Amino acid sequence: MKIDILTLFPEMFVGVLNNSILKKAQEKEAVTIQAHNFRDYSENKHKNVDDYPYGGGEGMVLTPQPIFDAVDQLTSHKEKKPRIILMCPQGETFTQKKAEELANEEHLIFICGHYEGYDERIREHLVTDEISIGDYVLTGGELASMVIVDSVVRLLPDVLGNELSHMRDSFSTGYLEHPQYTRPADFRGMVVPEVLLSGNHKHIEEWRSKESLKRTFQRRPDLIKKEVLSAEQIKWLKEFENE
């Protein structure tokens, strides 16, 4: 996968892209990630990238030229059309499902505004997706795009050591993850559930499924789709409701 990020603050990405899994993913060549300053593409003699809004009003608006030109330069004519993602609080809210969808693409281009608004022609004629990471306003799209890059790259083949570890994640399965324990079995009198020490894999799997459903019931009941529950899960749900 190739990821290009258009931003006025490429330095913001240095720490995030050069540590941990994102660093390893690039070393393994599962992905190439580059942050580009779209000011470099400005044709304005002062390298301006924004201007006053037509009709007046507060704030500045990012002009279309540097962003359209940067995207043109980063898109090779041979490739499948890239996903061009505008980071903004008005976009669709990011989810694990969207991360999985983006992980199937060959090329992602992120556009990050900072304080300014975007000229509407960028929205209408350039981007394929507008994404928000939640109902709050950040100073810019940079942090939001890092969240998305992180969640997409960890889904690429061979990026996580244990191929299955993300399959079990909260949200991939549709339910929140079951509790986990490690040694010691007794820490200051707080003990690990007996079943996990039993070595009985069938019982352990059953315990995990039940705890996963319980946690989802307690914390995110909106994620439970009653129509797809097994008879056993329905029985468990009744137990939780009566507790």
We find the least distance from the C-beta atom of residue 31 to ligand ADE, in angstroms, to be: 21
Regarding 231 and contact with ligand ADE (CB under 6 A), the answer is no
- The reply, when asked if residue 135 is annotated as ligand binding, is yes
SS (H, E, C) the chain: CEEEEEECCHHHHHHHHCCHHHHHHHHCCCCEEEEEEHHHHCCCCCCCCEECCCCCCCCCEECHHHHHHHHHHHCCCCCCCCEEEEEEEEEEECCHHHHHHHHCCCEEEEEECECCEECHHHHHHCCCEEEECCCCCCCECHHHHHHHHHHHHCCCCCCCCCCCCCCCCCCCCCCCCCCCCCCCCEECCEECCHHHHCCCHHHHHHHHHHHHHHHHHHHCHHHCCHHHCCHHHHHHHHHHHHC
Regarding 54 and contact with ligand ADE (CB under 6 A), the answer is no
- The stretch near ligand ADE (CB under 6 A) out of 56-64, 87-95, 169-177, 211-219 is 87-95
Residue among 69, 100, 105, 169 flagged as catalytic: 169
- The reply, when asked if residue 189 is annotated as ligand binding, is no
Residue nearest to ligand ADE (CB): 144
Binding mask 168-207 for ligand ADE (x = CB under 6 A): ----------------------------------------
Q: CA-to-CA distance for 3 and 226, rounded, in angstroms? A: 38
Q: CA-to-CA distance for 92 and 88, rounded, in angstroms? A: 9
Residue among 39, 53, 69, 89 flagged as catalytic: 89
- Is residue 163 among the annotated active site residues? no
Instruction: Return all residues near 129 (Cβ < 8 A) that are at least 6 apart.
Output: 83, 84, 85, 86, 91, 92
We find the least distance from the C-beta atom of residue 91 to ligand ADE, in angstroms, to be: 6
In terms of CB distance, is 82 or 140 closer to ligand ADE? 140
Regarding 85 and contact with ligand ADE (CB under 6 A), the answer is no
Regarding 87 and contact with ligand ADE (CB under 6 A), the answer is yes
- Is residue 82 among the annotated active site residues? no
- The reply, when asked if residue 113 is annotated as ligand binding, is yes
Binding mask 102-141 for ligand ADE (x = CB under 6 A): ------------------------------xxx-xxx-xx
Q: Which residues are catalytic?
A: 89, 116, 154, 169
Annotated binding residues for S-adenosyl-L-methionine, written as ranges, equal 113, 133-138
Residue ranges in contact with ligand ADE by CB under 6 A: 87-89, 132-134, 136-138, 140-141, 144
